[in-house]
Structure 1
Amino acid sequence: MKTHEPAIFKAADVARELNVSEMTIARMVKRGTLPKPIKLGVRLTGWPREQILKWINDAFETANGKSD
């Protein structure tokens, strides 16, 4: 059975992908090391899934000394 990947990642989703806490996600956004989420509603923010996956890939490439 195929699992459904959300188009938008909430903070909990990003935290799970990075294996960190939601508080760490908030600190990363505040420091500018993680892109700011987009406002989706009055009380809802999130990141486009592809943006987070690209950010993770770019971080791995940077850590391994590779760049475009």
Structure 2
Amino acid sequence: MHETIGFYTVKDICRILNVCRTTLWRMRRDGVFPDPPEIYGRLLRWPKHQVDEWVLHHWPGPRR
């Protein structure tokens, strides 16, 4: 897997995981989803490579 340069926002991650902001916050609080590195103070941004790797190994995706 190649490393993607850039960052995801909260909105991006919610779209990728198909969850709302509240669920993403709970996932972070419960240690299920990693906190973003502190880059811009209160502005939340996750490195794309970190999120892509987490999704690949930890997220089951939509259940049918």
Q: Quick check: TM above 0.5?
A: yes
Question: Which TM-score bucket, shorter chain as reference?
Answer: 0.7 to 0.9
Identity of aligned residues (%): 30
Structure 1: gaps of 5 or more residues: 64-68
More helix by share: 1
Length, aligned pairs only: 57
Q: 2: CA distance between counterparts of 1:16 and 1:6?
A: 19
User: What is the SS of the residue equivalent to 2:46?
Assistant: strand
Structure 2 unaligned runs (5+)?
A: none
- Give the secondary-structure state (helix, strand or coil) at the position aligned to 1:32: coil
Q: CA RMSD in A?
A: 1.9
Structure 1 runs, 4 residues or longer, greater than 6 Å off: none
Instruction: Answer with 1 or 2: which has the greater Rg.
Output: 1
Indicate the structure with greater strand content. Answer: 1
